[in-house]
Structure formats: structure tokens, C-alpha cells
């Protein structure tokens, strides 16, 4: 079986909408945009769709949001086998969505976007790819904030004699049985990986810079009768999804409204730790010194028990270098290792794609953002970069709920923009600076009172200047409301300057009831 049911779409010279990345965002865009009758292509640099859920194939990889919620509102899956899905099942789900909605024909895998420059004269994005040049009226970045692996700064690995890996570039041919493994990091990836490795490895050294608050996942299998029920009566699953959604939205109270509520999370975490770990020394090392929620709250049923195993050691130090067969910690500690796994996350605030996108004034997005941090209007569009849309753009990340919900909100915004272009007959739209500034001022003001700003930690939510450029300070419902419709008052719109022919009319799919489809998209997900 080929990994995807498509993925080899032809690359035309010109396309109306070009989407970069075929993860959750790109696939959803392909489905919704094709349903709305837009001409589109999705470019994926890897050989397969799936994005995060293709890359993160390390043992134990899974999602921190319940399966029923972590899926598209327009493609519910009654067959989830666990309350929290593991990576293979989510990856398979994405393949299934591609097949079910027959969007493989819009997706081209193995093509990397090397650069994109706004051609102001022709009012198009001139996109350079590894398979040639493409012109696009609208460019959609769906490459995601968690796609480019990050390694800790200044760690030298060149004299290390063992194997070095990042969790998001897992080599499944590597057998860890009987090996001495060092895992760098105690974040979301590490706590899923460590219990799996500890089962087989001779020793596991966990290098910990800052501990996390960890609460139970309560993972359970979904029995066959429930799955059958969801299949026959989809409303039941919708109800479960709604309940999960509502419960998670309540957590915003703690993150955003009253950080003191997070003490209850800390209490739960301490109890969980006490049950699993009897050694008070280890417990002290694992107890964070910041308010829960400031860094991502992690969920796991097996992390603490794994750390209590005699073959696992937590070294509460940052890694400085790998040398010979040793991992050297910041305090000069040395631990031998055959394999070092960096579970150190992603470049969330320094998006590589930003370096490749050059806007109206000839400046790259990275250049524009280098002074201000990542900024966009409604997490979607950026002044100076006409017709560029983000899925999971600046300040749309969540600490509490499903990013799939955010993606669908942002897709609704994109669809509305494309629909307005079509109906009102303009070709170019660019947010006005004052609208973007006002939006960001409001977001930053609301962020300033949240746990992420006041909790007493540094986290990947913050950029190098300490500005939180990744998170949405509110409910997902609020984000959805604020991205339901494009307010043209916030934009400058224009017709194509040289009167060049617009993109070819949609050929792949008839424009079947776009309005009705859109309504579903904006209401779904609850």
C-alpha cells in the first residue's frame, strides 16, 4: 500500500491557492478549499502527508488531547481505539481523511518550498520549489510551528562516538535493547518516550533542565461496543466531543483568568508523584518551582513510574556537550551513553518558513519579525505580505485544547477571505498596520495577566525577547468568533495592477454550495 492515496499531484505553472505543508492544516485546507471550489495545490516537502504525526514516530508518541476532540469536525472517526490516540493511529486517520475526501490529487509530496516572493507588479506570489517555479494568487502557510526540530544552544556533539537522534527524526531501525540511552529534555516528547525506552534499555539517563508538572492521562481503551455506537449514532460521539471540548474550555479559567486555580493542578501532580515515587530526593528534583501551566502541563500515566525504575536516573542539569561516550552536564556531571536522544522540541518562535517568505517591501518575514517578534492580524495575515495566510499563525497556540479546532477556525477565516475576493472582485488583500497593531496590543495585554507570563518560568511559548508570540490568551470559542468573518475594514484591498488574467477557473471540483459548506466549517468542532 502506498502511504497516501495521492500525493503526486501535478505542479501547474500557476495556481490560485498554494498551501505549504500537508499536516493537519494542509489536509484540512485541501478538503475545505476544494469543497468550496477553489483551485489549489498543497506542497509537502516530505514523502508522505501527516506533518507532526508523520515526523514524531518515536516509541510512545501520542496526543495530549482526547481523540474525539483531536480530529476534524467534518471527519469524525468513530473507530478511535484509545481515549488518547498514539501516533500511528492519528497518522492513519490523516491518510484516511485524504482518501475519504479524495484530496490526494491536490497534494504533491516530495516538493519543498525554497522561497516565496511577492511580485507586486503582477500581484502574485512567485514561489520557488524543489520541483520548479509556481505562481500563486494566495499563499497559505500550513507548515506548522512544531515542525523544525530544535537542539539546545551550544551543545557540541561532534566528538561523540555514539548515536544522536531527535525525537522528531526517529530512526525506527535503531534497537535500544540493552543500550545505555540518554534522553535530553523532560517535555511532552520525553515523557512519552522515556517509559518506552526504560522497558528495554540497560540504563536511561534523563537530562532535565526544568521539571514539568505532570498529571495523570487516564488512558483507556475504547471498547468495541462504544465504537459501534459511535458508528451507528454519530450524535453520541458528537456529544462526547462536546463534553470534552467544554471541559477543556473551562481550563482557560486557570490559565488566563485566575492563575491561582493552578494550585489544584499542582496538588494533583504532587499526589501522582508521591504514589509512583517513594524516594524523596527524586521527588524533590522533579518538583517544579514555577506555577503549574506556565510551561506546558504534561499528562502521563507511566512517566513517574518509569523514573522510579532502578535503571533510570534523572540528572537535573542542562547538557553542555557530548564527548567520547559521555554526556556532560552543566555541573560537570558525566554519564556514559551509547545513544543520545534529544527530546528538545521545535523552533516554535523562530519559524524557518519566515526566512523564505519575502513580502511587498522586499523584506523577509523573519526580517520583519526580528524586531517585533511574530505578529499577525487575527493570527492569519501580516502587513506587508499580501495574500499570505497562516494556519496556526502567531498567537493561535493553545495550552488547554485541540489545535485542530484552531486550524478549523483559521480555515473559516481563509475561506471567507477567498469568498470575498471572488464575490467582491478584488485580487489582493493586506492587513492594515493599525489593525494588526491593535490586534496585537489587545492580545499582548490579555497575555500579560496569564499564567504563561506570571507563572515564573521561561518556556517555548516565549521568543528570545521573552514575548509570548505563540499562545492564544482565551477560549478557542473566542478565537473562533473573532475569525469567523473577515472584516474588510481591517484590510487594504486591490484589483490586480496589470489586469493579468486571474487564476484559471476551478477545474477539479464544481463549486458546490460553498456557502452551506462554510457554515458547517464555522460551526463544527464542538
Binding residue for another protein (CB under 8 A) from 264, 287, 372, 513? Answer: 287
Binding residue for another protein (CB under 8 A) from 317, 432, 444, 493? Answer: 317
Binding residue for another protein (CB under 8 A) from 310, 371, 466, 499? Answer: 310
CB-side neighbour CA atoms (13 Å) of 403: 21
Binding residue for another protein (CB under 8 A) from 133, 171, 279, 445? Answer: 279
Cell matching residue 454? 506570571
Does residue 332 bind another protein (CB under 8 A)?
yes
Binding residue for another protein (CB under 8 A) from 175, 281, 371, 489? Answer: 281
Cell matching residue 39? 483551485
CA distances in angstroms from 478 to 324, 380, 497, listed in the order given? 52, 15, 37
- In degrees and rounded to multiples of 5, residue 33 shows phi and psi of -70, -40
**Minimum CB–partner distance for residue 265 and another protein (Å):** 16
* Contact assessment for residue 44 and residue 107, using Cβ atoms and an 8 Å cutoff: yes
Does residue 321 bind another protein (CB under 8 A)?
no
Does residue 284 bind another protein (CB under 8 A)?
yes
Residue with Cβ nearer another protein (211 or 474): 211
**Minimum CB–partner distance for residue 210 and another protein (Å):** 14
What track of x and - describes contact with another protein for positions 333 through 352 (by CB under 8 A)? Answer: xxx-----------------
What track of x and - describes contact with another protein for positions 153 through 182 (by CB under 8 A)? Answer: ------------------------------
Instruction: Using the rule CB under 8 A, give the single segment among 116-124, 176-184, 326-334, 424-432 that binds another protein.
Output: 326-334
Binding residue for another protein (CB under 8 A) from 23, 25, 195, 329? Answer: 329
User: Where are the extended beta strands (E) located within 301-356?
Assistant: 312-315, 319-324, 326-329, 334-336, 339-342
DSSP string, 440-495: HHHHHHHHTTSHHHHSS---TTB-TTS-B-SB--S-HHHHHHHTSS--GGGEEEE-
Cell matching residue 440? 496585537
Cα separation, 352 vs 356, in Å, equals: 7
Write out the binding residues for another protein, residues 406-445 only, by CB under 8 A. none
Quick one: which H or E segment has residue 414? helix 403-424
Does residue 285 bind another protein (CB under 8 A)?
yes
Q: Is the dihedral of CA 273, 275, 277, 282 positive or negative?
A: positive
Binding residue for another protein (CB under 8 A) from 20, 69, 146, 315? Answer: 315
Instruction: Give me the residues that bind another protein (CB under 8 A), please.
Output: 278-281, 283-285, 287, 289, 310, 313, 315-317, 329, 331-335
Amino acid at each position: 500500500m502506498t502511504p497516501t492515496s495521492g500525493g503526486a499531484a501535478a505542479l501547474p505553472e500557476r495556481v490560485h491557492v498554494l498551501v505549504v505543508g500537508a499536516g493537519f492544516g494542509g489536509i484540512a485546507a485541501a478538503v475545505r478549499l476544494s469543497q468550496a471550489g477553489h483551485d489549489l495545490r498543497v506542497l509537502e516537502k516530505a514523502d508522505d502527508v501527516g506533518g507532526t504525526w508523520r515526523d514524531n514516530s518515536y516509541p510512545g508518541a501520542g496526543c495530549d488531547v482526547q481523540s474525539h476532540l483531536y480530529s476534524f469536525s467534518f471527519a469524525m472517526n468513530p473507530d478511535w481505539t484509545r481515549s488518547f490516540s498514539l501516533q500511528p493511529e492519528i497518522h492513519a486517520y490523516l491518510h484516511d481523511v485524504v482518501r475519504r475526501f479524495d484530496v490526494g490529487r491536490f497534494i504533491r509530496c516530495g516538493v519543498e518550498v525554497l522561497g516565496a516572493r511577492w511580485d507586486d507588479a503582477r500581484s502574485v506570489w512567485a514561489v520557488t520549489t524543489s520541483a520548479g517555479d509556481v505562481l500563486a494568487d494566495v499563499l497559505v502557510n500550513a507548515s506548522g510551528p512544531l515542525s523544525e526540530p530544535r537542539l539546545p544552544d551550544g551543545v557540541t556533539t561532534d566528538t561523540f562516538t555514539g548515536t544522536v537522534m531527535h525525537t522528531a527524526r526517529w530512526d525506527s531501525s535503531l534497537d535500544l535493547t540493552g543500550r545505555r540511552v540518554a534522553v535530553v529534555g523532560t517535555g511532552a516528547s520525553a515523557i512519552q518516550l522515556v517509559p518506552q525506552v526504560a522497558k528495554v534499555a540497560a540504563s536511561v539517563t534523563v537530562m532535565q533542565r526544568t521539571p514539568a508538572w505532570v498529571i495523570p492521562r487516564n488512558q483507556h481503551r475504547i471498547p468495541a461496543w462504544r465504537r459501534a455506537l459511535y458508528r451507528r449514532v454519530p450524535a453520541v460521539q458528537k456529544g462526547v466531543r462536546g463534553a470534552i471540548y467544554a471541559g477543556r474550555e473551562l481550563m482557560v479559567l486557570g490559565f488566563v483568568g485566575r492563575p491561582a486555580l493552578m494550585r489544584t493542578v499542582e496538588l494533583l501532580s504532587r499526589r501522582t508523584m508521591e504514589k509512583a515515587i517513594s524516594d524523596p530526593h527524586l521527588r524533590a528534583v522533579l518538583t517544579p518551582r514555577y506555577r503549574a501551566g506556565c510551561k506546558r502541563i504534561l499528562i502521563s500515566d507511566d512517566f513517574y513510574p518509569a523514573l522510579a525504575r532502578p535503571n533510570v536516573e534523572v540528572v537535573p542539569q542542562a547538557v553542555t556537550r557530548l564527548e567520547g561516550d559521555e554526556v556532560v552536564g552543566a555541573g560537570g556531571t558525566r554519564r556514559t551513553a551509547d545513544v543520545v536522544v534529544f527530546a528538545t522540541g521545535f523552533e516554535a518562535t523562530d519559524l524557518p518558513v519566515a526566512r523564505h517568505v519575502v513580502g511587498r517591501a522586499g523584506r523577509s518575514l523573519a526580517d520583519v519579525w526580528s524586531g517585533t517578534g511574530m505578529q499577525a492580524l487575527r493570527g492569519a495575515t501580516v502587513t506587508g505580505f499580501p495574500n499570505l495566510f497562516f494556519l496556526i499563525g502567531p498567537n493561535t497556540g493553545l495550552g488547554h485544547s485541540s489545535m485542530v479546532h484552531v486550524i478549523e477556525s483559521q480555515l473559516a477565516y481563509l475561506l471567507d477571505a477567498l469568498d470575498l475576493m471572488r464575490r467582491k472582485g478584488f485580487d489582493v488583500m493586506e492587513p492594515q498596520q493599525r489593525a494588526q497593531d491593535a490586534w496585537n496590543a489587545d492580545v499582548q495585554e490579555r497575555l500579560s495577566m496569564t499564567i504563561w507570563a506570571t507563572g515564573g518560568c521561561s518556556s517555548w511559548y516565549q521568543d528570545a525577547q521573552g514575548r509570548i508570540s505563540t499562545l492564544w490568551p482565551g477560549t478557542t470559542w473566542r478565537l473562533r468568533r473573532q475569525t469567523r468573518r473577515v472584516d474588510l475594514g481591517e484590510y487594504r484591498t486591490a484589483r490586480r495592477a496589470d489586469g493579468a488574467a486571474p487564476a484559471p477557473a476551478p477545474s477539479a471540483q464544481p463549486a458546490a454550495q460553498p456557502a452551506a459548506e462554510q457554515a458547517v466549517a464555522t460551526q463544527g468542532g464542538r
